[in-house]
Structure 1
Amino acid sequence: MDLEVRHLRVICAIAEAGSLTRAAASLRMTQPGLSAQLRRIEVMLGGPIFDRGQAGAVPTALGELVLPRARAILPGIDGLLSDTARAARCGTAPGRVRLGSVGAPLLADLIVAARELVPGSEVTTRCQYSPSPLLDDLGAGRLEAAVLGDNPGHELPPREGVVLRPVVTEPVFALLPSTHPMAGREEVSLTELFEDAWAMPHPDSDRTREYWASVFSRTGRQPHTPYEAEGRQLIDIVRAGLAVSLCQATFIEVPGVVVRPLAGDPLWYRHVLGWRRDGPLAAYGDEIVRRVAEGYLATCAAAPAYARWRRCHPESPCPTG
């Protein structure tokens, strides 16, 4: 028996549902039928993928190995099936512009530019925290363009066939609970924040944590970091008053958290656009950078803490373009 795409869908459905009963309903199968199929898959893979108990279906160590790969494979399979079905209906393969992005405020403007500059194409997006896999995908031709980012001394490495264009370098700000004693200040001290617990993204290949640690080391201290989280989870931890963190200056405040500049601006982040030299956007590189830079300035105006910082620092770099 060979591992098939349907088996990967079963594994992912169980993980997402958290129980075989709910997964069976979503897959329109009976629970006994799903249990039997899971047992066959586990025999094929060499061990249990889930621990089944009162807490539901929890991935085992083997499951933690299998699940990320299954989740990475299925979108590509689904995209292939969708494209071939559309090509069969239309008689030709569809034009497609695949975009990627880290968590940054440039993606919407990049999407609009791609739609307008390559009319008739299907624009798709894929987002993730680290820029390194996105840069790999650009180099391998799996993406046409991407919003990337890096830090001083830890710049993205050149990649054959890929153009990298900096857009702007901005300061890194502090992210605090709205109830924090320093929330009312115009700016906060990095060393004073070391008295708090911190929430940080998981160390990744983009080396952001390495950059932060190198800057922290100049103060002779490192923060206590009991929480590793990203995105919504990180914001929720800060909102709950459990920790402080760092964020991009363009982060838009949400209820329960405040954004404040760091005194002395010790940390910086650079927004970068990348595209394939032989891709459908290559001829429009300068125009795309110009449009994205204009969108960035509008985003700055919508972020009160950053807008105030820019007014106080008129010498700060303006977006390229």
Structure 2
Amino acid sequence: MDLEIRHLRVVCAVAETGSLTRAAASLGMTQPGLSAQVRRIERLLGGTLFERGRAGAAPTSLGVLVLTRAHAILPGIDRLLADTERAALRAASPARVRIGSVGAPLLGHLLLAVRDVAPRAEVTARCQYAPAPLLDDLAAGRLEAAVLGDHPGQKLAPRDEVILHPLVTEPVFALLPADHPLAEREEVSLTRLAEEEWAVPRPDSDRTHEYWTSVFALTDHRPRAPYEAEGRQLIEIIRAGLAVSLCQATFIEIPGVAVRPLAGNPLWYRHVLAWRRDSPLAPHGEAILRRVHDGYLNSCATGSVYARWRERHPHAARPRG
């Protein structure tokens, strides 16, 4: 009899449960059948692996050696089996590409790029405010690619299964009611803005609130934030003239709100594209990046405020090809 992967799982199960009876139940075997299996494994390895007693089964020195090697081998085997299962499913079923995105101007460009490189694929997308859950979904194989983002000092944690490609780091701008006195200026002082009432995103894994707070700590003012909101609700609070806030530089002005650069560019946001290493998109990474890169530049030109800022700062916020 040759040593097999299932034999290592049997040894690990006995050690983890501390009992042949409990191990048999966890493995779906009878206790006599498991005992006979353990004896065959011991004969194969040339020694006793467990001391049996009233207290249960405890590994011998040889058993500890076998367990140490098994714990080193089995995780790699499990990853191999999971990877091959995913590959087989992709080969046996129509191609499907699942895209995730935070609130950013890149999702549409990414979807178009995916359709270019995989025209027969079924493409789906879902959005979420925070990037951390999307990164978790990428690592777990629940997404193939995503648009993510982070702030200085809060970079996304790398994952072995995921390729992170930073596209551009751009300034964060002020978001004001259109009739606010500060909207008449070309740029706004963060210290002056801190004197206003604020609408802010809720504290969560996105860490935007945390980043804003850390930068405001450098000023002499701690802004009062009676409104906690995101997305459309935050915009409506601003448009009603109740508060000010911050936004991405590519945010397009709409009636009732004004976007203005912050003097000195104290806050920044980094756009990141991500995909699984085993994703069907991985071989097309360069083509996708070029398409999204060009789309981002078009978005920059669409927003007149950001376009003017880029003219004044030609070497800042340059996308990486």
TM-score, normalised to structure 1, is 0.71
TM-aligned CA deviation for residue 118 of structure 1: 1.0
- The whole-number CA distance in structure 2 between the counterparts of 1:192 and 1:220 is 10
Q: Percent identity?
A: 68
TM-aligned CA deviation for residue 204 of structure 1: 1.2
Corresponding position of 2:228: 228
- The whole-number CA distance in structure 1 between the counterparts of 2:99 and 2:146 is 5
TM-aligned CA deviation for residue 222 of structure 1: 1.9
Once the two structures are superposed, residues 246-299 of structure 1 have per-residue CA deviations (whole angstroms, 9 ceiling, x without a partner) of 000000000000000000000000000000000110111122111101100000
Corresponding position of 1:193: 193
- The whole-number CA distance in structure 2 between the counterparts of 1:316 and 1:133 is 30
TM-aligned CA deviation for residue 220 of structure 1: 3.2
Corresponding position of 2:314: 314
Are the counterparts in 2 of residues 238 and 244 from structure 1 also a CA contact under 8 Å?
Answer: yes
Corresponding position of 1:163: 163
Corresponding position of 2:260: 260
- The whole-number CA distance in structure 2 between the counterparts of 1:205 and 1:157 is 12
Q: For structure 1, which segment, 248-257 or 219-228, has the greater mean C-alpha deviation from structure 2 after superposition?
A: 219-228
Corresponding position of 1:217: 217
Corresponding position of 2:131: 131
Which residue identity lines up with residue 294 of structure 1 in the other structure?
D
- The whole-number CA distance in structure 2 between the counterparts of 1:288 and 1:162 is 16
Corresponding position of 1:249: 249
- The whole-number CA distance in structure 1 between the counterparts of 2:319 and 2:200 is 27
Which residue identity lines up with residue 243 of structure 2 in the other structure?
A
TM-aligned CA deviation for residue 194 of structure 1: 1.4
Once the two structures are superposed, residues 82-124 of structure 1 have per-residue CA deviations (whole angstroms, 9 ceiling, x without a partner) of xxxxx9xxxx632110000000000011001111101211100
* Aligned length, in residue pairs: 231
Are the counterparts in 1 of residues 172 and 247 from structure 2 also a CA contact under 8 Å?
Answer: yes
Corresponding position of 1:300: 300
Corresponding position of 1:152: 152
Are the counterparts in 2 of residues 105 and 250 from structure 1 also a CA contact under 8 Å?
Answer: yes
- The whole-number CA distance in structure 2 between the counterparts of 1:207 and 1:230 is 13
C-alpha RMSD of the superposition: 1.2
1:173 corresponds to 2:192 = no
- The whole-number CA distance in structure 1 between the counterparts of 2:100 and 2:260 is 28
Once the two structures are superposed, residues 128-167 of structure 1 have per-residue CA deviations (whole angstroms, 9 ceiling, x without a partner) of 1110110000000000000000000100000120000000
TM-aligned CA deviation for residue 218 of structure 1: 0.8
Are the counterparts in 2 of residues 138 and 276 from structure 1 also a CA contact under 8 Å?
Answer: yes
Are the counterparts in 1 of residues 100 and 125 from structure 2 also a CA contact under 8 Å?
Answer: yes
Are the counterparts in 2 of residues 290 and 320 from structure 1 also a CA contact under 8 Å?
Answer: no
Which residue identity lines up with residue 194 of structure 1 in the other structure?
A
TM-aligned CA deviation for residue 318 of structure 1: 1.3
Pair member with larger Rg: 2
- The whole-number CA distance in structure 2 between the counterparts of 1:155 and 1:209 is 15
Displacement over 2 Å in runs of 4+: none
TM-aligned CA deviation for residue 240 of structure 1: 0.1
- The whole-number CA distance in structure 2 between the counterparts of 1:309 and 1:122 is 39
Which residue identity lines up with residue 240 of structure 2 in the other structure?
A
- The whole-number CA distance in structure 2 between the counterparts of 1:128 and 1:293 is 22
- The whole-number CA distance in structure 1 between the counterparts of 2:171 and 2:252 is 15
- The whole-number CA distance in structure 1 between the counterparts of 2:157 and 2:114 is 25
- The whole-number CA distance in structure 1 between the counterparts of 2:179 and 2:280 is 49
In structure 1, list runs of 5 or more residues that go unmatched.
Answer: 1-86
Which residue identity lines up with residue 318 of structure 1 in the other structure?
R
TM-aligned CA deviation for residue 183 of structure 1: 0.7
Are the counterparts in 1 of residues 215 and 267 from structure 2 also a CA contact under 8 Å?
Answer: yes
Are the counterparts in 1 of residues 191 and 220 from structure 2 also a CA contact under 8 Å?
Answer: no
Are the counterparts in 1 of residues 195 and 221 from structure 2 also a CA contact under 8 Å?
Answer: no
- The whole-number CA distance in structure 1 between the counterparts of 2:102 and 2:219 is 29
TM-score, normalised to structure 2, is 0.71
Which residue identity lines up with residue 175 of structure 2 in the other structure?
L
Are the counterparts in 1 of residues 171 and 317 from structure 2 also a CA contact under 8 Å?
Answer: no
- The whole-number CA distance in structure 2 between the counterparts of 1:130 and 1:117 is 27
Corresponding position of 2:184: 184
Corresponding position of 2:104: 104
Which residue identity lines up with residue 204 of structure 2 in the other structure?
D
Corresponding position of 2:282: 282
- The whole-number CA distance in structure 2 between the counterparts of 1:93 and 1:228 is 44
- The whole-number CA distance in structure 1 between the counterparts of 2:206 and 2:229 is 16
- The whole-number CA distance in structure 1 between the counterparts of 2:254 and 2:219 is 30
Corresponding position of 2:17: none
SS of corresponding position for 1:308: helix
